[in-house]
Chain A
């Protein structure tokens, strides 16, 4: 459906940037007593974006480029934009349930959410290294402020500061790597990088190029929470306001992976397969075990979800380890790895918001994020306990939920790479068990332990409907994944240049 003419490739970006401005205006002209209108305006913007992304864009359309190749709209970009639009809508829905606790600046809060979302839309379709840096920083800068938004709480300020310092470090890595890449190839576009590698005809790339790639990857590793760049995750997750944490967990991770996928689909070739597979296998190993092991002794729910998000980054890295080795290489295995990542990101977005929504509602009612206070939740509010349980089981990868099918696809793509992937498969399976342990510990608290305070926690109608919808989405994505898998596979195959 062509509703934007030549601007179709940047339709969502334009809409969300204008929407962000509009929200600020609404805030300006709304009296203090009616500030809930700001949230409604923001919700309207994201709802339009959601509809435009899922129903106004063609997934299998022609690849379109804009601004001399710095923006690309292909199947993968469309899939990612749909994921981001979903995450944005859920983030605003969560924020509306949180904003009463903001002392001031509702308008700015929503504005920043939308500007981060604009950055994510841009990230999905970057075509060169400069636009990559700029759009990535748009996301990161918005999150600096969002994380520190509750200035009266030291944890929140601390979270913003940590994000800022370590984020700057990561930005330096990305820029440094970009400089090396430019030096090695004389080009900033992904297409130029691809042509340069193709001209090598299977020979290993120069050391400068390799260094450049590594630095960019490590810089992006900060966004996705990959070892060794993961240290900020638990502190920021715990300190930032819960809707921000959820959006950060989903948006930052997906944005980082979008760029890593772009980069890797560009540079993956006969000369680089072996190193890439080795690198990602090692990183997946380290990230999986770090995230899941360190989650075990946690006592705070947000922190637990922070560590578990590092673990999920490890699972997602498994999809990149499916790239090689060259001797066994099969384009469709690599594409299935990328498709698995895309599907997993969508499933992870829904699951994470399902979990965080309960965390937000629970802390709004009790003022606590401590796991011990979740004791007996099933008796205080069966709906909250059941929704959180379904989300946790989906995170753990229990069938028939969305998370199960995502993990299944990732593991399958690793299995397709032959014996080289065996060790990683075992590690993945072991980590699923560890994950199940700490998720079930929380479930056990909710269902088995007696509540300290037995007063019921009422859930209002719209919120209950939202919880039902998210739970249903997790079930649908797990039981009827077919349509979404097809979308993800088509996008990934196109990105790898595999026919059909």
Chain B
């Protein structure tokens, strides 16, 4: 496949933008039409993605499996910024996740947002998000990625704060935006550092320092060594390794890794379809995707990969422990998402792009499914507290069974999607090139914790007696159909990665991405003992969870008393929010007040007010010239002309004599 297919790739990108424009500007008030436009924009994206993916997978021997299509965006001297689309297996897989999960969620929103005042606005924002997200996915260079990265941040802000009448939603939107800013600062610094150091190398001439393909080709030719030698070590790291870690900062923000994870649980203030699409399946995975796209930056530096893996592992474990004590159904899922994102990042750090992308794909389907189920439950109970639910198994059979499928996949029951992708990560930790026993233990323990909190949540929501108000009933078909639509891939998509089934299949040969990401670096096999150990951990956690909350053989309240300090630590989320608040309120506020004093008294009163008074005075003086009398005007023009002529002639004469 070649660039002649570029129109399809551009269509993936621009169909949602067109939908956002039409839905937001033209037909916002016509509710049904706005929704239809948004859904069709997404569906066009899905169809184009499927077509391109089929062409890529069907590419014959020796034929390229992807292409890049660029147009010049800004040209200024030697600097060229391009804008383009890349359609290789990596980007198309991610685009499939975005559009494939996005389309059912768009449909689901028709039912979920029914009767909301901002119906049209919601679909416009959702389409804007799809455009921004697909912009990251299809981007061919760092600058374009950054632009869409920020656009995604904007649409996330708009959607978290969608119900802007609610203070907590507004606060959560601001928090997400600010926390992401911290990561983005690192990201941008990394881009600048990388481009600046690469562009200053003579051997880099003729390449574009922003372009993924150019950079990857340069790195593969050993350019990173030259780069490391050419510039001094900063902070004890060679410059390219530092740049890689700074770029990773962006992923830490967007994919909510420790220590910037605090925004994601709060982001659940947004409508549930938003949580499912952005804060579970796609946007938060953008960070993982981005590291996979620029994996060549990390590859030569084991220390950088190590740092990535540990950040991921730490996040996975910490978030899973917090999820144990949450009582809000969406918060449980939010912390579970954090934990699974940690798994993905750990996978990239341990084993490279494919393992991370595999887990990203399976997770997107089953987590989106779980979120939509929770939305259905919330829709029925008008509450998010699992302590006010219970027994919904009978009232909401469709929701219940799809939830069970999603839970099975998340807990990694053998045969479901999550099992295969999680197994691949554990295998990388145990047998991979950068194998690490501590991280293997972290992975296994987290698997056990995952099973525990999911069984707890399931038992409290769907079993026992109903503890809430009113009579919950099943959601309409427009909401339950997308659930079943997502349940299928949540069960089955993992088999694609099952080594015994597809190992050596042409789909998994050759280049995964134009930046030289290989499929399955190193030998990958199915390790039966490891799979058994992993399943045992999950089973242990699951059984324990069921004993406490389902069968009630163990007294939860008594254990809570006994472990009270631990419970407090977990339910206060390791006091990180308090720490950040202290940082902002005490440290930053102190600095800010000092700056404010200086600004108010020296800068504003002295410099700014003085300058503006001078400027305004001169403006008034000039205005006096404009008397309205034509005599004055002619006199002014003549006098000015005489001055100009005299000056030029005299200076020319002086120049001639000298």
Chain A residues within 8 Å of B, Cβ to Cβ: 161-162, 165-166, 169, 173, 204, 207, 210-211, 214-215, 218, 222, 227-229, 231-232, 234-235, 274-275, 278-279, 282-283, 290, 293-298, 408, 412, 434, 480-482, 485
Number of residue pairs A-B, CB distance < 8 angstroms = 95
CB of A231 within 8 A of CB of B637, answer yes
Q: In the complex, are the beta carbons of A231 and B651 less than 8 A apart?
A: no
Please measure, in the bound complex, the distance between the C-alpha atom of A232 and the C-alpha atom of B625, giving whole angstroms.
11
- Taking a contact as CB atoms under 8 Å apart, the answer to whether B626 and A211 are in contact is no
- Chain B neighbourhood of A481, CB < 8 A: 74
Q: Which residue of B lies closest to A218 (CB)?
A: B641
Residue of A whose beta carbon sits closest to that of B625: A231
Q: How far is the CB of A230 from chain B (nearest CB, A)?
A: 9
Identify 5 residue pairs between A and B in the complex whose beta-carbon atoms are under 8 Å apart, listed by A's number. Answer: A169-B634, A211-B645, A228-B637, A231-B637, A294-B623
On whether the beta carbons of A275 and B637 are closer than 8 Å, the reply is no
B613-628 interface (Cβ within 8 A of A): 615-616, 618-620, 622-623, 625-626, 628
Contacts of A412 in B (CB 8 A): 76-77
B325-352 contact mask (Cβ, 8 Å, vs A): 1 or 0: 0000000000000000000000000000
* B626 engages A297 (CB within 8 Å): no
Q: A228 touching B630 by the CB < 8 A rule?
A: no
A130 to B267, CA, bound (A): 71
Question: Which chain B residues have a beta carbon within 8 Å of chain A's beta carbons?
Answer: 71-77, 615-616, 618-620, 622-623, 625-626, 628, 630, 632-634, 636-641, 643-645, 647-649, 651-653, 655-656
Bound CA span A169–B633, Å = 11
Decide: A293 and B656 in contact? CB cutoff 8 A. no
Add 8 more A-B contacts to A231-B637, A294-B619 (CB < 8 A): A162-B630, A210-B652, A228-B636, A228-B637, A293-B618, A294-B622, A295-B619, A297-B616
Q: Beyond A218-B644, A482-B72, is A169–B655 a contact (Cβ under 8 Å)?
A: no
Bound-state CA distance A9–B62 (Å) is 54
CB distance from A350 to the nearest CB of B (A): 19
Measured in the bound complex, the distance between the Cα atoms of B255 and A267 in whole Å is 61
Chain B residues near A231: list those with CB within 8 A.
625-626, 632-633, 636-637
Q: Is the CB of A204 within 8 A of B637?
A: no
Q: Is the CB of B622 within 8 A of A485?
A: no
Mostly, the A contact residues are: helix
B632 surroundings in chain A (CB, below 8 A): 231
B73 near A480 (CB under 8 angstroms)?
A: yes
- Chain A residues with Cβ below 8 Å from B72 are 482
The listed residue with most B CB atoms (<10 A of its CB), out of A166, A229, A295, is A229
Q: Which residue of B lies closest to A336 (CB)?
A: B77
Asked if A278 and B644 make an inter-chain contact with CB atoms under 8 angstroms apart, the answer reads no
Q: Is the CB of A173 within 8 A of B641?
A: yes
Tell me, in angstroms, the Cα distance from A298 to B643 when the chains sit together.
Answer: 28
* A413 → chain B closest CB, angstroms: 11
CB-CB under 8 A from A295, the residues of chain B are 619
Given A169-B637, A210-B652, verify A482-B623 contact (CB < 8 Å).
no
Q: How far is the CB of A157 from chain B (nearest CB, A)?
A: 13
Expressed in whole angstroms, the Cα–Cα distance for A481 and B626 within the complex equals 38
CB <8 Å contact, A296 and B615? yes
Q: B615 and A434: CB pair below 8 A?
A: yes
- B73 partner residues in chain A, CB cutoff 8 A: 480, 482
Residues of B within 8 A of A218 (CB): 641, 644-645
Contact B637 A229 (CB under 8 A): yes
Interchain CB contact under 8 A, A228 and B639: yes
> Which residues of A lie under 8 Å from residue B652 when comparing CB positions?
204, 207, 210, 275
Distance of A282 Cα from B626 Cα, bound (Å): 22
Q: Which residues of A contact B618 (CB under 8 A)?
A: 293
For A211, list chain B residues within 8 Å (CB).
Answer: 645, 649
